[in-house]
Amino acid sequence: MANYRRNRVAGGTYFFTVNLADRDSHLLVDHIDVLRAAVREVRHRRPFHIDAWVVLPEHMHAVWTLPEGDDDYSGRWLAIKKAFSKGLPHTESTTNARIHQGERGIWQRRFWEHTIRDEADYAAHINYVHFNPLKHGWVQHVAEWPYSTFHRAVKQGIYSEDWIGVEDDGIAAGER
């Protein structure tokens, strides 16, 4: 089995990309209420702060800050994936290997994580999260995408409703 190296900083802030196994699927937005319930359930048991989040049809990006002394983001993602999967009917195709491992075949097995280094890195990743629906061509204006913390950030005065995002966001291509 591969030994994946994860940077773990207790109480740290992290950027994540989490993908469905079927990159042509719209499962995440088609079942957004199931996903939201899964996140609420996990946050109730294992709190974390959602700094930013965007849910696209087949993948999502998030920036989380964990409680002081806690570095277990992997356990939280596992719990979110499990709770979401349990809330869906068994319609996906899967392999014998996944069945043997007790997996449904909904999610890619891994996720991508980046530890936020400083305020500039934080701002770049928050902007990247919110710009993502426009980047992928799902909307013409960031505010049109309903599955994003962008709307919360507008209410907090962080963005204006007509923010168009920035394509050159300062994030290296390998960090997405």
Residues catalogued as catalytic: 147
End-to-end CA distance of the chain: 25
Give me the sheet containing 13-19, strands edge to edge: 49-55, 59-65, 13-19, 112-115
Backbone φ/ψ region at 140: left (φ over 0), alpha (ψ -120 to 50), beta: alpha
**Gyration radius of the chain's alpha carbons:** 16
Q: How many Å apart are CA 21 and CA 23, to the nearest integer?
A: 6
Q: How many CB atoms lie within 10 A of CB 88?
A: 15
